[in-house]
Chain A
């Protein structure tokens, strides 16, 4: 599968093939940038439930998956959407009402955990969080961890530096590897075999991608087979990691995609209002996700004028002078 020549498929099919109720999933992007939103919306449309979600600092994608009732457990460093929601609203509500279980890590720890998964080692060390409640308090109780095969028995382990103080550290924190069943990322360019080129910041997408058993890539541009073979030092993910490629222009909308479009402040503000109220949020889910066929349906609903407004300016890669109030 990973060596196939042509992995292009529909989003519907990719989600049906790789996302099961209760599976362990991770999504790329960071707060309001390059979240694989089209994939998030398709997961919601397919009514997937009981997901175990892994993210570092995710915003919009996480909040919509939680709000739609897809998520049972989450391991996370940060749930926020920048100025639009300092704390993700449905995430906040779900934790306060006890409808999801949360395990807190730091951003670096989550990133190292994905890297450990990508490297095939059981853990990696860091000096972050020593002395804090991130170590002392476990969101997932020990009994639950021991009972679940797909979870390590411990959240974190503090250990004396086995190299006797080498590098000036007396203690290290060991963070356990993550191997998601499936990771979804959205990239600027991919070819039919799955070679990927991201532009701007990569966040932890590369580690999330390489840690996963299955990787689904959605892309702004689907390019010819030879295109990414030129200047291939600009590629981050070679095709051997990829299971499916889906071409979806505006696949990160309403979050941003560097060099293509900005986040849509109108959308994110309206979302924040709807998310605060159960009735409005249900109406939002219906009108913006469940009754639409695909991402193109969402773009049609929003209208070309708004899409035009967020188009990236070629000099800066974002929509300069966009009204973001």
Chain B
């Protein structure tokens, strides 16, 4: 069955979401992944937005986290204070899985979504942290979406917007952050995880038809590829739900 890499990325992320997760969703593909999980195998997972919406019933895909579509049929419509407190609070924060994206990532999963070039005279300015830094600081697990390109998987970030494992195994503890950090990086080629001991990224699996060598060619730094497997392609029923139920207008796909 034919599928696009964007569909594959969405479904690979969706497979990581469980019924017992509160899913923090950002704009775009991350929302779609949560919607897909909810419709495919995790109907009880809770979709949660930094704008303050909890457990929205998404009959249509929102185009921003402040889209009125996230306000419909919620458990509560609050505000930003509620949303971030829920994540900073360890009682509820540990139930949250964050989904983030960025312009650059390093081997410890630290993210840049602010500038390319010098912060004080950037060649490219991006949106900035939004809630990204807050989520990365607070939640114990997160999934990061990236495009697999050399300029995005970098030796050194131009600006560190959101903390991953900082400089290694003790990085977060030394800085005063709660435990946790990113778990997964999902790209248009592969899935990466972080080593238990070193907290460095390693290749967990490649999409069908993509070799570990190809993945490495698209990164500035090298990662361990010895654990790589082939990730199963989307199943027909997954694709059907994603296309027909989650994003029929193909607004994100």
Whether A115 lies near B81 (C-beta < 8 A) is: yes
| Cβ A80 vs Cβ B27 within 8 A | yes
A133's partner among B79, B114, B127 (CB-CB below 8 A) is B114
List the one stretch of A40-48, A121-129, A277-285 in contact with chain B: A121-129
> Which residues of chain B have C-beta atoms less than 8 A from A320's C-beta?
59-60
Also in contact, A256 and B68, with CB within 8 A (given A96-B122, A130-B176, A202-B78): yes
A77 CB, nearest partner CB in chain B, Å:
6
- Which residues in A have their C-beta under 8 angstroms from that of B53? 201
Q: What's the Cα separation between A32 and B122 when bound, in Å?
A: 26
B59 touches A111 (CB 8 A): no
- Residue from the list B81, B166, B249 in contact with A204, Cβ < 8 A: B81
1/0 per residue, CB under 8 A from B, across A38-67: the answer is 000000000000000000110100000000
Residues in B whose Cβ lies below 8 Å from that of A82: 27, 62-67
Is B129's CB under 8 angstroms from A317's CB? Answer: no
- Cβ distance A23 to chain B, nearest Cβ, rounded Å: 23
- Is there a chain B Cβ closer than 8 Å to A170's Cβ? yes
- Does B106 have its Cβ within 8 Å of any Cβ on chain A? no
Please determine whether B127 and A170 come into contact, CB atoms closer than 8 angstroms.
no
Q: What residues on B are CB-neighbors of A130 within 8 Å? A: 137, 163, 175-177
Q: Are A107 and B129 in contact (CB under 8 A)?
A: yes
Decide yes or no whether B162 CB sits under 8 A from chain A: yes
Contacts of B72 in A (CB 8 A): 316-318
B238 within 8 A of A: no
How far in angstroms is the closest Cβ of chain B from A66? 12
B97, chain A: closest CB distance, angstroms: 18
Which of A84-92, A286-294, A298-306 makes up part of the contact surface? A84-92
Q: Which residues of B contact A (CB under 8 A)?
A: 27-28, 50-53, 59-60, 62-73, 77-81, 84, 88, 90, 110, 114, 119-134, 137-138, 159-163, 166, 171-172, 174-178, 249-252
Q: How far is the CA of A3 from the CA of B120 in the complex (A)?
A: 45
> Taking CB as reference atom, which chain A residue is nearest B167?
A131
Chain A binding surface SS class:
loop
B158's nearest neighbour on chain A, judged by CB, is A133
Residue of B nearest to A256 (CB): B68
> How far is it, in angstroms, between the C-alpha of A139 and the C-alpha of B123 when the chains are bound?
15
Q: How far is it, in angstroms, between the C-alpha of A317 and the C-alpha of B67 when the chains are bound?
A: 11
In the complex, the answer to whether B129 meets A201 with C-beta atoms within 8 Å is: no
**Could you list 8 further interchain pairs (A-B, Cβ under 8 angstroms) beyond the known A80-B64, A128-B138, A169-B176?**
A78-B129, A83-B63, A98-B121, A203-B51, A317-B71, A320-B59, A321-B60, A324-B249
A254 to B171, CA, bound (A): 44
The CA-CA distance from A202 to B78 in the complex, in Å, is 6
Q: Which residues of A contact B78 (CB under 8 A)?
A: 201-202
Residues A127 and B178 in contact, CB atoms below 8 Å apart: yes
Q: CB within 8 A of A79: which of B128, B160, B162?
A: B128
Q: Judge whether A108 is part of the interface by a CB distance below 8 angstroms.
A: yes
A230 touches B (CB below 8 Å): no
List residues of chain A with CB within 8 A of the CB of B131: 57, 77-78, 106-108
Tell me which of A77, A81, A105, A126 has the highest count of chain B C-beta atoms within 10 A of its own C-beta: A77
A172→B160 CA distance, assembly (Å): 18
Which residues of chain B are near A95, meaning CB under 8 Å? 122, 125
Within the complex, which residue of B67, B73, B129, B178 is in contact with A106, where a contact is CB–CB below 8 Å?
B129
Given A83-B64, A312-B68, A107 contacting B175 (CB threshold 8 A): no
Q: When the two chains form their complex, are residues B71 and A200 in contact, meaning their CB atoms are under 8 A apart? A: yes
In the complex, the chain B residue whose C-beta lies closest to that of A84 is: B63
User: Of A92, A134, A171, which contacts B125 at CB under 8 A?
Assistant: A92
A158 CB to closest chain B CB (Å) equals 8
| Interchain CA distance A256-B70 in the complex, whole Å | 12
Cβ–Cβ contact B51 & A324, under 8 A: no
**In the docked arrangement, what's the CA distance between A135 and B121, Å?**
18
The answer to whether B137 and A128 have CB atoms under 8 Å apart is yes
When chains A and B are docked, how far (Å) is the Cα of A312 from the Cα of B72? 12
Given the complex, which residues of A lie within 8 Å of B64, measured CB to CB?
Answer: 30-33, 59, 80-83
A210 vs chain B, min Cβ distance (A) = 12
Residues of chain A within 8 A (CB-CB) of B126 are 86-87, 92
Structural contact, B133 and A134, CB atoms closer than 8 A: yes
Q: Is the CB of A132 within 8 A of B77?
A: no
- Given the interface pairs A33-B66, A200-B68, A200-B77, the reply to whether A79 lies near B52 with Cβ below 8 Å is no
Set B60, B114, B163, B251: member contacting A131, Cβ < 8 A: B163
Pull 19 A–B residue pairs with CB atoms less than 8 Å apart, ordered by A. Answer: A31-B64, A32-B66, A77-B128, A80-B64, A92-B126, A127-B138, A128-B84, A129-B133, A133-B119, A169-B176, A171-B175, A203-B80, A207-B81, A256-B68, A316-B59, A316-B72, A318-B67, A320-B60, A323-B249
